[in-house]
Amino acid sequence: MIDKKLLEILACPLCKTDVKLEDEKLVCTSCGRKYPIKDDIPIMLIDEAELPKNGI
């Protein structure tokens, strides 16, 4: 899975805030976008992110 040190330096590419690991996805703590992790590599592309349920 994602190394703790890597998780500490990753940020949402859209709003530049921290992300947290939830259900094998990286979730932005501000906008709520969920970035997938494929083969232990975080895919931090805005176009690949899943939008939050509330439609932000």
pTM of the model as a whole: 0.88
- What is the chain's pLDDT, residue by residue, as a tens digit (56 residues)? 788 999 999 999 999 999 999 999 999 999 999 999 999 999 999 999 999 887 55
pLDDT at 12: 98
- Residue 54 pLDDT: 72
Domains of the chain, first to last: 4-48 (2.20.25.10)
Residues 37, 43: contact at Cβ < 8 Å? yes
Residue pair 37/2 in contact (Cβ under 8 Å)? The answer is yes
